[in-house]
Structure 1
Amino acid sequence: MSFVYFPILKSRTSELRAYENLSIQSKQEMLPIIELTKSRISKSNPEGSIEKKIEEIKKILDSNLFILDLTTDETLKNPQIDKMLLNYQDGYKEWVDFVKKIIIDYNLKIIPCIHYNPKRIEDVKLQIKQLKESVKGLNLPLALRLDANNNKNPKYIEAIKEFTKDCILILDGGYIEGEEYLDFNLQSINEYNFKSIIFACSSFPPTLPNNGKEVVEKYLLTEQKNYVSLKERYPHIFYGDYACTHPIRYDTQVRGWIPRIDIPLLKNNQEYIVYYYRCRTSERINIEQAYQNCAKSLFQLDEIKNVMNNSIWGFNVFNDVINGYVAGKSPSFWISVRINIYITATLEKLKRLKWGILKL
């Protein structure tokens, strides 16, 4: 198995839909880091059971390998997730048992993340030993995901250094606005023999700017440019990001939203520009017409016309709207379109530039 791209995706409908509609080849060339979230709450599912979410993941990811982590987002987790995250007793037994269960019962191919508490190192070590045993038959490593901005990372890693050779290290930079000089103590971290190191961050804002006018707007993304400056100093680092989303997502009812379509396009070999258009509904313009206005306004740009590719699901959906058929009328659906286009383009770019291949 060979992978070139490592996006962090929450297991919400928008992200999973975007992944589901990727080509078979794209799915085989990426190793997603899936943050497990609660499932959709309903009368029959008041707690947002994670078993239901695992069933959804199984259906969509099928036999494709992925890294599994738990969300820490307060709005996306439930008591089941909290219990696995916070209960460190007996080597995080709740988490270890859950990993074993989904490998056996759902036949999922996963690389589980290690949960880390610097005050409970012996439980962390016991957890690692038990997780290693759970994936032994799959001949897979484990993953350690750390906040890239924490200057104590070398100290944390030192405490479990006997296990690093069997681990993929994920340095999560979170939200990084604009261009920055990045380092994250990599000089020290490099001394540990990790199987590989992935750096991931996002420059996609919590909300795209709105100038109050119905015109095509654009927003520059810089995570790939920031990665290049890091890779120049540490060439073995692999590329990850949040797939054109903000790291923090809110599981709340969207009220008063304005229909909007976003199309991310590669500006050069380092940056993306997100072109977007909003159209308010009114007595004369319903939601369907608003999305048609968005699509037609964006399609007037030569930058978009020149890259239209209907073999890509996101572009195909966009083209359908131009021709009068609106498949989705919710923000979640159009987030899926944006993510799908971005992932496909990023995969092609990474292969073209040969930024690195991780073989497992």
Structure 2
Amino acid sequence: MQLYNLLFKTGAAEIRAVNNINVEDTKYIRPIIEVTRGRKTKSDNIGDSDKKIISLLNFFKKSPEIIFDITSDFLLSNSLIDSLFFPDDGYKKWCDFCLKYKEHHKGLVPVLQINPDDSSFSENLFLQAKKLLTNFEKICYRSDMLDFGFEDDLSVISDLINDNNLLIVLDCGYMDSSFHWYADKVRERIDLIKSIFTDVDFVVTATSFPKSVSDVGHENYDSFKLSEIELYNKLAEEYPKLGYGDYGSVNPVRNDMIARGWIPRIDVPLDDRIYYRRLRKQKEDESYSTAYRRISEMLIEDKQYPRHLKCWGIDCINSTASGEVAGSSPSFWISVRMNIHIKQRINHISSKL
């Protein structure tokens, strides 16, 4: 069965979005969880992620597999996450970290960590793969499409790979509407990897959601295509077993800083595009809640509005339009967009079964 490979970081907006997915729908999802630091508190000055990791693994118990990774974004990391990249003794700290969570999901698929500065690179990478394959049925190699060291990495572990015990995620990151360059690079990479391995599965992931919607459309109202869907559809013609993945309509680079307020905006994902409305507050003393209510009223009057879609995100827009404002922060409305997008992708996959 084709699965929706949902790549997301463990930030507050993303967790809110996934926690409001219908639990029955999680059987169609293979999460790619990129662990980021937790929130610091008086009793926790590091930002431990343990509780949210366990909560996510338990929430996705109906998912057949969960791909398990850690962030390489230093702004979202902490000393604990940084230490998991240490290559000593075959990335012992990372392997132990994965084993710690194995009991919470039988389908955990650890991602191989790569430290190119390791003086014993091949030895430690091979030992890491061997340890993980001793304890897990499958491992994952996340291949950044702008990183061209993948052949060296994969040749190191080639003797350990058999019987579909390796999943390769071809990660395009952010791409604009010109997806053809990425399509060519993905083709090249699949063909090169197939010359090394015969029995591996591939997933392609990407997102076309911009840092700012003004980069792709008009300031107050517009729509734009989801290039990740176009990319996948093009590639699937040649590679019918290729898995689809995306970032849940979230840009890979976090933009959480809010200075001197913000312009309220709500985004509505459709099957293959997203449309949005943005509206400045009418007066300085107007609340953000009122602005979001006015936007919601406009959205539900739009003929594009997916009023028959049943999910938490649509419920939030409907309730806000009726006067019960669901949330008044950008983070909350990121969650709404992501939740709607996930439901659209699940409906697309389930309709083909």
TM-score (norm 2): 0.88
Instruction: Report Cα offsets for 1:308-344 as digits up to 9, x if no partner.
Output: 1363111111100111111211111111110111111
Instruction: Say if 1:251 and 1:303 are closer, same or farther in 2 by CA, change over 3 A.
Output: closer
> Which residue does the alignment assign to 1:130?
131
> Which residue does the alignment assign to 1:294?
295
Matched to 1:273, the amino acid is I
| Structure-to-structure mapping, 1:6-25, within 5 angstroms | 6-25=5-24
Instruction: Say if 1:283 and 1:257 are closer, same or farther in 2 by CA, change over 3 A.
Output: closer
Q: 2:204 aligns with which of 199, 205, 215?
A: 199
1:88 CA drift (Å): 0.1
1:12 CA drift (Å): 1.0
> Which residue does the alignment assign to 2:277?
276
Is the contact made by 1:50 and 1:80 (CA closer than 8 Å) also made in structure 2?
no
> Which residue does the alignment assign to 1:102?
101
Structure 1: gaps of 5 or more residues: 355-360
> Which residue does the alignment assign to 1:149?
146
> Which residue does the alignment assign to 2:83?
83
Q: SS of the residue aligned with 2:198?
A: coil
> Which residue does the alignment assign to 1:262?
267
Moved more, 55-64 or 243-252: 55-64
RMSD between superposed Cα atoms in Å: 2.4
Q: SS of the residue aligned with 1:162?
A: helix
Matched to 1:272, the amino acid is R
User: What is the percent sequence identity of the aligned residues?
Assistant: 31
> Which residue does the alignment assign to 1:189?
193
- Specify which structure has the bigger relative contact order, considering alpha-carbon pairs within 8 angstroms and separated by 6 or more residues: 1
Matched to 2:281, the amino acid is R
Matched to 2:351, the amino acid is R
1:352 CA drift (Å): 3.4
Matched to 2:318, the amino acid is N
Distance in 2 of aligned mates of 1:144 and 1:213: 38
The number of equivalent residue pairs is: 341
TM-score (norm 1): 0.87
1:250 CA drift (Å): 4.3
Instruction: Say if 1:61 and 1:255 are closer, same or farther in 2 by CA, change over 3 A.
Output: farther
Structure 2: gaps of 5 or more residues: none
Distance in 2 of aligned mates of 1:13 and 1:56: 13
Matched to 1:130, the amino acid is K
Is the contact made by 1:42 and 1:48 (CA closer than 8 Å) also made in structure 2?
yes
Instruction: Say if 1:239 and 1:211 are closer, same or farther in 2 by CA, change over 3 A.
Output: closer
1:153 CA drift (Å): 2.3
Instruction: Report Cα offsets for 1:142-189 as digits up to 9, x if no partner.
Output: 111111233332333222212333111011011111132213322111
> Which residue does the alignment assign to 2:178?
179
Matched to 1:198, the amino acid is V
Moved more, 159-168 or 341-350: 159-168
> Which residue does the alignment assign to 1:40?
39
Is the contact made by 2:129 and 2:157 (CA closer than 8 Å) also made in structure 1?
no
Instruction: Say if 1:148 and 1:225 are closer, same or farther in 2 by CA, change over 3 A.
Output: same
Moved more, 51-60 or 169-178: 51-60
Is the contact made by 2:289 and 2:325 (CA closer than 8 Å) also made in structure 1?
yes
Moved more, 287-296 or 36-45: 36-45
